[in-house]
Amino acid sequence: MGDRETVAYVALSHAAYSFDGEYSYLVPERYRQVLKAGMRVLVSFGRGNNRVIGLVTRLGYDDDNKHKLKPVISVIDKESLVTDEMMKIIFWLKENTFCTYYDAFKSAVPTGFSYKVDMHFALVNTYIDRESLSTEEAEIVGFLESCDDAAEVDKYFDLKANPQRKKPLDTLIDKGFVEEVPSFKRKVGDDSVKMAVLNDGYEDADLTPKQKKVVELLEESGSASVKELCYMTGCTSTIIKRLCEKEVLRVYEQEVLRNAVGELGDRESPEDIVLNDEQKMAYNGIMSLIRAGKPAGALLYGVTGSGKTSVFIRVIDSVVKMGKTAIMLVPEISLTPQMLARFKVLFGENIALLHSSLSLGQRMDEFKRIKRGEARIIIGTRSAVFAPAENIGVIIMDEEGEQSYKSDSNPRYHARDVAIQRCGHNGALLLMASATPSLETFYHAQKGRFHLFTLAHRYSDAALPKVEIIDMQTESAEGNDSLISRKLADKLTETLKRDEQAILLLNRRGFTTYVSCASCRQPVVCPKCNIPLTYHKKNDRFMCHYCGYTMDNLAVCPSCGSDKLRSSGVGTQRVEDELARIYPDARILRMDADTTSSRYAYEEKFKAFENHEYDIMLGTQMIAKGLNFPNVTLVGVISLDKALFTGDFRSYERTFSLLTQVAGRSGRGSKPGSAYIQTFVPDHYVLNLAAEQNYDEFYAEEIALRQSLIYPPCCDICVIGFSAVMESRAIAAADHVTAFIAEYLRKNKADFPLRAIGPAPCTLEVINGRFRYRLILKSKNTRCFRQMIAAVLKDFGDNKDFKEVRIYADINGDIGL
């Protein structure tokens, strides 16, 4: 038996799905004590020995030393960024979302930790026999001996510009005459501050008066930043430098974490929150599940304004006192400012924040705080489910039915599924909560898979808002061509007179959403997507909300040259103009993707509305859920008709949820509230049940429909999507995959039930110049089914006939587009 060799199994950073795997590399002796799973390394890959960054997924041994393995070139990380538990999650993501190992790793670790590698070359200090060198090799050696400018050396070895040097360079490296020296640059560096501290024996130094001031301050404080020393003593950095030269003091770099949470105010105790009887029952039941220390799931189902957040706070406080960690997920960035403000008052510096509006540096530093155990309560959006927390006691998903919890890019995971895995590894409770839970979750709660806790009444017995449906066809027939119905306009006037506030919802941004020509009947469309452009009045431009294309405002039709252009469709900008015309004295706040692009926009604008600096808040769905403004007594829905008919089987569920939730923003304080829904389909049962806030009856109607049509939760749905610049290639790819699946099922004698729909064009057939087709598969998400999908993707990736076609597989994602 040969020597026992340590082997690293490495997943490559640029691997395509078809050749993604764990590749074996020999661990040199100098790295054996430091290298661990979860660390990144530099390795050579392929016949060309390209230098690639990879993730060590695990370590093992090659006892027989049979295989001639390439060695690990360099270790990049000083410590692993992922825990053993998170490595299990990476393997789970690989199997369940059809991504690569490294894609899964990038989801779990903030982008700021990414590295770029540069290779440098230098002569090894050894004897070189010139006669043994070829002409090209001798030329390289001669250049390295004569040039000591690092930039010139790098330019000389730019192998893209000088590919003829690659072969002789590799030969020189193999002979041991030239060595590779990798340098790694991280996307975002650690933030640090220069600190000063006195050295032993400083008392004997001969000091100037200004230098004595610095020493006296350090004697008093022990250490201080160089910046503070200069400010407090009035000296310059030159004086600090002189003191270092005299060995009076020593300057060192100390890491400083970038603040994402902001300033902390006065503290309150979570125990001061008084729970009513319903809340106490829910709290006690939830805590008994957590104390059991076994993986479990629970649904907190409560009407809007029932005080679910108060239950969360008491649960989190108890979990932290047990020495465990709590993760609180919210669906929208817009919900984090209000939630954060309340949590800061209650839990202080024990909280960490993770969402996409933080800078790369802030996200990195919050990640570090969580990993070190400095923050035990994590608040964030979907990606916070990967927080490097240990000993998790509870993961809370507020508004768990929101579609933003599902990722629509690689890896295509649902935060709920990842949370279930993490609760399994930690013996923790997944607590989902909503007034309008997803049908799947409510179905599993009814079947006993999840524990069900119900809050049937609003806190302090406040009344639910009175909701009324307004028929806009009648309004139009009576001569009202305004976007605001007469009744809603009157109620707005009354609300403003009482010095109360209103929220208006329209889930479409822009000014007009459709511009067409009266002469040729052609709409003004995006040239890349063939979708009608939206006109934005603020910048006087047409914009595509799918690919980002913009163009100047038009005077004539681009198809026929006619000047008879007609606008239709309504966006938030147009409603804002209408409101300003009807209520010239009202202070209007518009909240949509166009007005909330800056990092602190949500926080600043919601705070201003809470402080009554605005009277009316008009916005898209970001204002519909989870917000609490006690002075809001009126909610108006301008239009949601289009959302009912999107072609997705979840369209009714989403519309019901949005209407119920936005209506629930009204009357949350001591004053009664009301809500008005404007529609052209006033008899639609979804709108009427939402007006009644009757989730139970809506669930009964919708689950019967899902069962008859075989849709989730009665099955799982996998969409295999294709896109190509040429439509014929997308069609050919879809047909190839359909035939492959039929052959796979026959050859493997697969016995799981499967229904296929398509392949057919997507609802939006062209986006950003690419034709889109899809194949919809209905089945159960079993290991056998996933193995089939993985085989499809691997076969497709290996097929050179379709190298220009993109493919993806998404289980239980959105099929509406």
Cα(368)–Cα(454) distance, rounded to whole angstroms?
Answer: 37
Is 529 annotated to bind a ligand? Reply is yes
**Rg for the chain, CA atoms, rounded:** 31
Q: Dig out the tokens for 581 from the structure.
A: 């015309």
Cα(42)–Cα(577) distance, rounded to whole angstroms?
Answer: 57
**Helix, strand and coil in the chain, % to nearest 5:** 40, 25, 35
Is 718 annotated to bind a ligand? Reply is no
**In what helix (H) or strand (E) does residue 226 lie, and over which residues does it extend?**
helix 226-233
Around Cβ 475, how many Cβ atoms within 10 Å? 19
Pairing of strands 377-380, 351-354: parallel
Closest CA to 423 of 287, 283, 298: 298
For 683, counting Cβ atoms within 10 Å of its Cβ (0-12 exposed, 13-18 middle, 19+ buried), the class is: exposed
Q: Dig out the tokens for 474 from the structure.
A: 């009648």
Pairing of strands 616-619, 588-591: parallel
Closest CA to 687 of 645, 649, 644, 647: 644
Is 526 annotated to bind a ligand? Reply is yes
Closest CA to 525 of 799, 765, 303: 765
Q: Which residue has the tokens 């090799």?
A: 137
What angle is formed at CA 335 by the lines to CA 333 and CA 336, rounded to 5 degrees? 70
Cα(805)–Cα(797) distance, rounded to whole angstroms?
Answer: 10
Query: Is the CB of residue 533 less than 8 Å from the CB of residue 557?
Result: no
Cα(372)–Cα(61) distance, rounded to whole angstroms?
Answer: 31
Q: Dig out the tokens for 2 from the structure.
A: 């040969």
User: Any idea what DSSP says for residue 594?
Assistant: T
Q: Which residue has the tokens 């919802």?
A: 505
SS3 484: coil
Is 714 annotated to bind a ligand? Reply is no
The β-bridge partners of 565 are 517
Q: How many helices (H) and strands (E) does the chain have?
A: 24, 32
Q: Dig out the tokens for 753 from the structure.
A: 């039930």
SS3 504: strand
Q: What does the DSSP assignment read for 232-276?
A: HH---HHHHHHHHHTTSEEEEEEE-PPPSS--------GGGPPP-
Query: Is the CB of residue 194 less than 8 Å from the CB of residue 227?
Result: yes
Query: Is the CB of residue 22 less than 8 Å from the CB of residue 56?
Result: no
Q: Which residue has the tokens 């000014």?
A: 511
User: Any idea what DSSP says for residue 37?
Assistant: T
The residue type at 12: L
Pairing of strands 514-517, 565-568: antiparallel
Query: Is the CB of residue 99 less than 8 Å from the CB of residue 410?
Result: yes
The residue type at 762: C
Residue spans of alpha helices (H) in 617-665:
641-644, 651-663
Cα(608)–Cα(220) distance, rounded to whole angstroms?
Answer: 44
Cα(104)–Cα(648) distance, rounded to whole angstroms?
Answer: 28
**In what helix (H) or strand (E) does residue 14 lie, and over which residues does it extend?**
none
3-state SS of 602-617 is HHHHHHHHHCCCCCEE
Q: Dig out the tokens for 383 from the structure.
A: 């990606």
Q: Dig out the tokens for 813 from the structure.
A: 């994602």
Binding annotation for Zn(2+) = 517, 520, 526, 529, 544, 547, 557, 560
Known binding-site residues equal: 517, 520, 526, 529, 544, 547, 557, 560
